[in-house]
Chains A and B, each alone.
Chain A
Amino acid sequence: MEKQKLVMIGNGMAGVRTLEELLKLAPDHYEITVFGAEPHGNYNRILLSPVLSGEMTLPEIMLNDLDWYRDNGITLHAGRKVVGIDRRQRVVTADDGTVASYDRLLLATGSNPFILPVPGRDLPGVIAYRDIADTETMIATASAHRHAVVIGAGLLGLEAANGLLLRGMNVTVVHVGDWIMERQLDRTAGGMLQRSLEAKGMRFLLAHHTSELVQGESGRVAAIRFKNGDSIPADLVVMAAGIRPNIELAKAVGIQCNRGVLVSDTLQTFDPAIYAVGECAEHRGVAYGLVAPLFEQAKVCANHLAQFGIGRYTGSVTSTKLKVTGIDVFSAGDFSSADGTEDIVLHDPGLGIYKRVVVRDDKVVGAVMIGDTADGSWYFKLLKDQQDISNIRDHLLFGQHGLGDVGHKGETVAANLPDDAEVCGCNGVCKGDIVKSIKGNGLFTLDEVRKHTKASSSCGSCTGLVEQILASTLGGAYQTTQSKDKPVCGCTHLSHGDVRTAIREQHLLSALQAMKVLDWKTPSGCASCRPALNYYCLSSWPHEATDDPQSRFINERAHANIQKDGTYSVVPRMWGGLTTPGELRAIADAAEKYAVPTIKVTGGQRIDLLGIRKDDLPAIWADLNKAGMVSGHAYGKSIRTVKTCVGSEHCRFGTQRSMDLGVKLEKMLFDMYSPHKVKLAVSGCPRNCAEAGIKDVGVIGVDSGYELYVAGNGGIKTEVAQFLAKVKTDEEVMEYSGAFLQLYREEGWYLERTCHYIERVGLDHAKAQVVNNATRRRELFERLLHSLQGAKDPWAERVEAERTSALAREFQTLEATA
């Protein structure tokens, strides 16, 4: 097939990101030509301010250098401006006469700075702040002149002012509004920011309207005059009073425009052969100026250009999390104090901290923060997900406390960390490595940082910190990616919730069937989605769905835990942590027979045999089975253990028979697979020797019965279990616990622990289903028992299969014979 021709007008971040996405999806579909008015490759416009202030250099902010275009076979006409489009013939013409024909045209012309229509606006020394050339002019001017005036106290203006200040100029910021950054900040926050900037030497003239720029003797600008008659000296005037979508060309050739070029949800203009993305486009009445939404548009546009046609852009909720000249600022949503809203405010002028969260109907609708913005992305997530905050309202302002604190002792402000501070303890990644990778590789999202640096890609406890580093490195370009609608993985655009609903509604019975029916983009998924799909099918359709062993992680396939050297560890089940001389003897015999190098008592009151070769697994299982022991499931996203204390059987303080109850619970839940691992504990009294306070389900015996706690976690981030209910009998404990776990099995996302599940849906939801509604509780409990009915020991099954099935000796290493 002959390649189609794609021409892109504009060579900025949104457009080039579209090309990158397109090349990933359909590398050979188009012959691509790019026209850019600037004589450079694609650079990170957001980082122009560090260049101005001297913290970075131009080569450091290049995202795609000229080699990138060459390597991807893209023809780049840099420094050539397109002046005409012939929509009939599908040809574009540049100012130097270059022509290019297209099958698809992509407009990514960005925006133009708004130049105040005042006398003197064309004088030498009057510039905008938009591109590399402007930045270079400012740097040159700073070394020869003294007085700079910046018109506009938005983000761009303040950054320009700061850069010029650092370059040694005398800087005054002129603003028409009553306070600075009024689109992002309320009056209090604006005032605080202004005072801290004034402390650095910046001067402000608020509520000042410019009337004229006055020419000096040298011919360049010399002063600025205001409507009130005052004037101040100015050798350099930077216009930063806003941007306007650059739609001149589109308008001239009759493409429908409003404020920007009008586009549909597939980023197409009224001419379906012509697409538009980025700051020049207007989608559902909004023209975006932040990078994150533009990247979302790029994804959808690329998807459509690649003729996949499954993506739709439905608009973005934006937040601003940025560093204005060293001061952390965050804002999102609506904070205008409209009717029906309530403000929750924490204001400490001494510490320079201001946090205001605006709430309507128990939902966050806006937030403004200055000084301490660590929890900005959390508030933004609450806002985007429309989460009910009535439960957490009393401590909402104190933040999520969800930041990683492993190895950095609760250090929560990423900006203060030195470069050699270890951020990711699992993979040994320091802050400096992350910052370098973000800048060097042009990364914008958490997922990209995970891929490139491995930080936060293992246990995830440092995710909050990594997000902060992203935010402080990128400034306004950063947008949190967490959301309910996040796709399961790159193989689909569906979220966990979507997939599970589809499996339930369309009666899908295997991972492979689900991938086919749900239009998976990859032929056989990946290591992230297949185990999830397999679990969702099995948990939605117990006894009906087909388990696909190849869609399970090796531990669940081999019923043992893989170790770093490729050997396995075997943990026989000891119900409730109880054992007998006979069992211990069998374990000792097996350990000797298979030369087990390490024997260790686990945290869950079991015995772990480590260092067993895969070939030996079926044999050691057969031996342990003979002594009456079964698999301990120490390897699975499944019921792990029920830990117990000795309780009233022996203990002088015990109030309940905790060992008995533990054994009963563990037998009931045997072979229960779940979104993630599940651990229980039963303590016989509130001294809680079984540590029930950090378990998925914790039971604490008291004189009058049992207290039930759920959603605790002793791992990555210690979470104290929350009180669910108080019950009287063993039977009630089993029913309540079982119903809670079934709810989690039906609603939890794959690899979501109970603590994260409850954080997402709220404890009240679980209480409503399990505690307050007896019918619902019994239904859940019955569904759990139904799905666990006839559970077999996976070891015994495997041993049996070894003797009978075609793939019988799958665990055995093959020998090569000539």
Chain B
Amino acid sequence: MSAHPVQTASNDWLAICPASAIPLLGARVVRTALGNVAIFRNQDDQVFAVQDACPHKGGPLSQGIVHGLTVTCPLHAWKIDLDCGEAIAPDQGCVARYPVQVRDQHVYLSLTPLPRTTET
């Protein structure tokens, strides 16, 4: 399993779970001081971590269907791009992303949010 490239200097990595505990095309929820964070694993074994709350009505994104780089929220089918955290147009909104990586078959999460990728 290859980790998604992470551009952060953070060294506050938290050990979460064995990589095998996240189902392929699925997600797990981590309870953190910043609220629930969802860790996703997609078809290409990339992992992503975002706030587990849809920008629309706060739906738990972790419970959605994962496809490509996207998750579809289970409540009202908003699509969120896991790579940049932005809702897919014409919907508008974004969720916080967190650095996540897989080392020695174990998932590590940092709670220093990644900066927004788009200029708005």
Binding site for B on A (CB under 8 A): 441, 451-452, 457-458, 522-527, 530-531, 549-551, 553-554, 558, 562, 564-566, 614, 806-807, 809-810, 813-818
Contact = CB atoms under 8 A, between A and B. Distances in A.
Interface in B28-74: 28-32, 36, 42-44, 57-60, 63-68, 70, 72, 74
Contact of A550 (B12, B25, B30, B77): B25
Contacts of A813: 29-31, 36
A566 B58 CA distance: 9
B114 interface: no
B23 A816 contact: no
30 contacts: A523-B43, A523-B67, A524-B25, A524-B66, A525-B67, A527-B72, A527-B77, A531-B65, A549-B26, A550-B25, A550-B65, A553-B65, A554-B64, A562-B75, A565-B58, A614-B63, A806-B20, A806-B21, A807-B23, A809-B21, A810-B21, A810-B28, A813-B29, A814-B16, A814-B29, A815-B30, A816-B14, A816-B16, A817-B15, A818-B12
A340 to B, nearest CB: 47
A679 B60 CA distance: 29
A522 B67 contact: yes
Contact of B74 (A553, A809, A816): A553
A806 B20 CA distance: 8
B75 A816 contact: no
Contacts of B59: 564, 566
Task: Say what secondary structure dominates the interface of chain A.
Answer: loop
Q: Which 9 A-B pairs have the closest CB atoms?
A: A527-B72, A550-B25, A527-B65, A566-B60, A554-B63, A816-B14, A524-B43, A554-B74, A814-B30
Contacts, number: 99
Interface of B: 12, 14-17, 20-21, 23-26, 28-32, 36, 42-44, 57-60, 63-68, 70, 72, 74-77, 79, 90, 109, 111
Nearest to A452: B90
Contacts of A452: 90
Contact of A524 (B20, B32, B60, B67): B67
Contact of A816 (B31, B44, B72): B31
Nearest to B20: A806
Contacts of B77: 457, 527
Contacts of B109: 816
Contacts of A441: 90
Given A813-B29, A814-B28, A816-B16, A550 B44 contact: no
Contacts of B43: 523-524
A549 B111 CA distance: 29
A29 B102 CA distance: 34
A527 B78 CA distance: 10
Nearest to B109: A816
B81 to A, nearest CB: 13
A457 B76 CA distance: 9
A661 to B, nearest CB: 36
Contacts of A527: 64-65, 67, 72, 77, 79
Contacts of B16: 814, 816-817
Contacts of A817: 14-16
A292 to B, nearest CB: 22
B78 to A, nearest CB: 10
